[in-house]
Amino acid sequence: MLLPPLSAIPPWVVSLDDYEGLAKERVEAGVWAYLCGASGDEATLAENREAFGRIKLSPRIFRDLSSASTALTLFGREYAHPIFIAPTAFHRMFHPEGELATVLGASAMESCLTVSTSASTGIEDIVSQATVPPWFQLYIQPDRGFTAELVKRVEAAGCGALVVTADAPLSGLRNREQRAMFRVPAGIEAVNLRGMKAVPPSDRVFGSELLASVPVWKDLEWLRSLTGLPVILKGVIDPEDAVIAADEGVSGIVVSNHGGRTLDTVPAAIEVLPRIADRLEGALPLLMDGGIRRGTDILKALALGASAVMVGRPVIHGLAAAGATGVAHVLKILRTELEIAIALTGRATLKEVDRSVIW
Ligand SMILES: Cc1cc2nc3c(=O)[nH]c(=O)nc-3n(C[C@H](O)[C@H](O)[C@H](O)COP(=O)(O)O)c2cc1C
Ligand SMILES: CC(C)CC(=O)C(=O)O
C-alpha cells in the first residue's frame, strides 16, 4: 500500500538521504525503478557518488566571514545561490500536483527549475507560478518544425534559458526499469509535445527512423537562430566537445552524464568537470550535475570549475514525500549545508571558492 504525501515534515528528516526513504513509500514500484535506475550495470550512477567521496576539502581558519554570501550572476541574471534543479520528466508520476508543486518549492527557496521537454504540465502554467524564471530543457525532436514552434512557445511563456540535452539521442537501456516493466501511467503525458508528429516505434536501433533524425552540431546553429534565449548545452563529457560547443557560440555547458542513465561506464561528472574547465579557461560558465547529495558536494563542484550545480533525483524524492514543501525542504537542506561548508573552509563568497579549497 502506497502512503499519501506527508502534510508535515518529521523532525528526524535532516538530510537528502532521509528523503529517499520517505519517497520510496509513496511511489509505485515501476515508477520508483524509473526514478532510481540508470543504464547497464549502473556503474556510472555509482561512480557519480563515489568520485565525490574521493575528493577531500582543505579548510582555512581565522578568516573574515562577515560578508558571506552565495549570490551569483549567470547569463545576466542574479541568483541567490548556485543550487539549480535538473530537468526530470513527468513530475505528476510522483505527486498529483506535479511540476506545479516543484516550481512552488523551487520558488520558495529562490531556486531555478529547468522544466523537462517531457514535463507533465503545460509550460505556461509552470512559469506563471515561478518567482525565478524557469529554464526549459529541449530535446530536439525528429519533427524540426514542431521543435521550432516549441522554442518560440517557451520563450513567449517567459522561460529564462534553453537547455539543449545532447547526450540522449537514444535512451540508455535501463535494466532496472525494464525488469520492473515500467510504463508511464495512464493519464500522464508529455503535454508540451501534444500534436507532434512522432517517429513510429521500432525494435531496431540501427536503420530506425529515430537514428536517421538525431541532432547534429548544425542543428544547434539553427536553434540559436530561432531564439534570443541563452542556449546551454547539457550532457557534455569529452573536453573536445566542450571546445566545439564554445566555438559554436553556446552560452553555457552542463557537464553531465545524465545521472548515469544514458551511456554506462562514462566517468563521474565531477571527475570530468576540472578537465573541461582547464580546456575552456573560463570561456563559458559551466554547470554540473550527477550525484550532488550534500553541500560539500556542491562546494567541490564550485571549486573544480562550476558556476552552479543541478540536482535531479533528490528533488523528486522531496516532491514525492511532501509536494512543494518537500521540494523546498530538500533545497533548504542543501543550501544550509553549502553555507556551512563554505564558511568552514574559511571562504566568504563564491569568488573565493577556487581549487585551493580542494586538499
Ligand atoms: C527520473 C529522471 C528523469 C530525467 N529526465 C530528464 C529529462 O527529461 N531531460 C534531461 O535532460 N535530463 C533528464 N534527466 C537527467 C537529469 O537532468 C540529471 O542529469 C541527473 O538526474 C543528475 O543526476 P542526479 O539525479 O544524481 O542529481 C532525468 C533524470 C531522472 C533521474
Ligand atoms: C522522457 C525521457 C527521455 C526523460 C529522460 O531523459 C530520462 O528519463 O532520463
The catalytic site residues sit at: 258
Q: Which atom belonging to ligand 1 lies closest to the Cα atom of 117?
A: 8
pLDDT at 263 over 90: yes
pLDDT score, position 203: 86
Q: Which atom belonging to ligand 2 lies closest to the Cα atom of 116?
A: 4
Quick one: which ligand is closest to 189's CA?
Answer: 2
> What is the C-alpha separation between 237 and 310, in angstroms, rounded?
15
Residue nearest to atom 1 of ligand 1 (CA): 35
Residues 349, 229, 324, CA angle at the centre, nearest 5°? 65
**Sequence-separated (6 or more) residues with CB below 8 Å from residue 298:** 82, 83, 292, 309, 334, 337, 338, 341
Q: Largest Cα–Cα distance of the chain, in whole Å?
A: 64
> What is the C-alpha separation between 81 and 112, in angstroms, rounded?
10
Kindly report each contact of residues 193-199 with a partner whose C-beta sits within 8 Å and lies 24 or more positions away, as own/partner. Answer: 193/117, 193/118, 193/141, 193/146, 193/150, 195/146, 196/141, 196/143, 196/146, 197/142, 197/143, 197/146, 198/142, 198/143, 199/142
Nearest C-alpha neighbor of 309 from the set 116, 151, 79: 79
Residue 286 C-alpha to ligand 2 middle, in angstroms? 22
β-sheet with 252-255: strand ranges across: 83-85, 308-311, 286-289, 252-255, 231-236, 162-165, 135-138, 114-115
Length of the chain: 359
pLDDT at 231 over 90: yes
37 in ligand 1 pocket by Cβ < 6 Å? Answer: no
Quick one: which ligand is closest to 119's CA?
Answer: 1
Residue nearest to atom 11 of ligand 1 (CA): 165
Contact (CB, 8 A) for 95 and 315: no
Task: Record the cell numbers describing residue 37, joined without a space.
Answer: 535506475
Out of 39, 91, 118, 183, give the residue to mutate to test ligand 2, the one with the largest number of ligand atoms within 8 Å of its CB. 118
Instruction: Please tell me the least confidently modeled range out of 106-115, 195-204, 291-300.
Output: 195-204
Return the number of other C-beta atoms located less than 10 Å from residue 91's C-beta: 29
Residue 38 C-alpha to ligand 1 middle, in angstroms? 10
> What is the C-alpha separation between 290 and 274, in angstroms, rounded?
14
Out of 39, 171, 183, 261, give the residue to mutate to test ligand 2, the one with the largest number of ligand atoms within 8 Å of its CB. 171
Residues making up the binding site for FMN = 87-89, 116, 137, 165, 234, 256, 258, 289-293, 312-313
List, in order of start, the domains of the chain with CATH numbers.
16-53+66-341 (3.20.20.70)
Question: What residues flank ligand 2, with Cβ below 6 Å?
Answer: 89, 118, 168, 171, 258, 261
pLDDT score, position 293: 98
Average pLDDT over residues 103-129: 98
> What is the C-alpha separation between 45 and 168, in angstroms, rounded?
15
pLDDT score, position 202: 87
H or E element in which residue 337 lies: helix 313-344
Q: How far is CA 333 from the centre of its chain?
A: 17
| Cα separation values, 97 from 61, 92, 105, 183, 324, Å | 46, 6, 12, 20, 9
pLDDT score, position 201: 84
pLDDT at 115 over 90: yes
Out of 258, 289, 297, 316, give the residue to mutate to test ligand 1, the one with the largest number of ligand atoms within 8 Å of its CB. 258
| Cα separation values, 22 from 26, 106, 177, 318, Å | 7, 19, 20, 8
256 in ligand 1 pocket by Cβ < 6 Å? Answer: yes
Residue 74 C-alpha to ligand 2 middle, in angstroms? 26
Residue 205 C-alpha to ligand 1 middle, in angstroms? 22
Q: In the predicted model, what is the mean pLDDT of the chain?
A: 97
Quick one: which ligand is closest to 168's CA?
Answer: 2
Residue nearest to atom 8 of ligand 2 (CA): 89
Residue nearest to atom 19 of ligand 1 (CA): 258
pLDDT score, position 353: 98
pLDDT, tens digit, 9 for 90 and up, residues 191-209? 999 999 989 888 889 989 9
Task: Count Cβ atoms within 10 A of the Cβ of residue 48 and give its class: 0-12 exposed, 13-18 middle, 19 or more buried.
Answer: buried
Residue nearest to atom 2 of ligand 2 (CA): 89
> What is the C-alpha separation between 242 and 247, in angstroms, rounded?
9
33: left (phi over 0), alpha (psi -120 to 50) or beta: alpha
pLDDT at 53 over 90: yes
Q: Which atom belonging to ligand 1 lies closest to the Cα atom of 234?
A: 11
pLDDT, tens digit, 9 for 90 and up, residues 71-84? 999 999 999 999 99
H or E element in which residue 20 lies: helix 16-24
pLDDT at 169 over 90: yes
Task: Record the cell numbers describing residue 349, joined without a space.
Answer: 563568497
Read off the amino acid at residue 308: A
**Sequence-separated (6 or more) residues with CB below 8 Å from residue 212:** none
H or E element in which residue 296 lies: helix 295-303
pLDDT, tens digit, 9 for 90 and up, residues 343-357? 999 999 999 999 999
Task: Count helices and strands (H / E) in the chain.
Answer: 13, 10
Quick one: which ligand is closest to 174's CA?
Answer: 2
Assembly ipTM: 0.99
Q: Which atom belonging to ligand 2 lies closest to the Cα atom of 172?
A: 9
pLDDT, tens digit, 9 for 90 and up, residues 315-347? 999 999 999 999 999 999 999 999 999 999 999
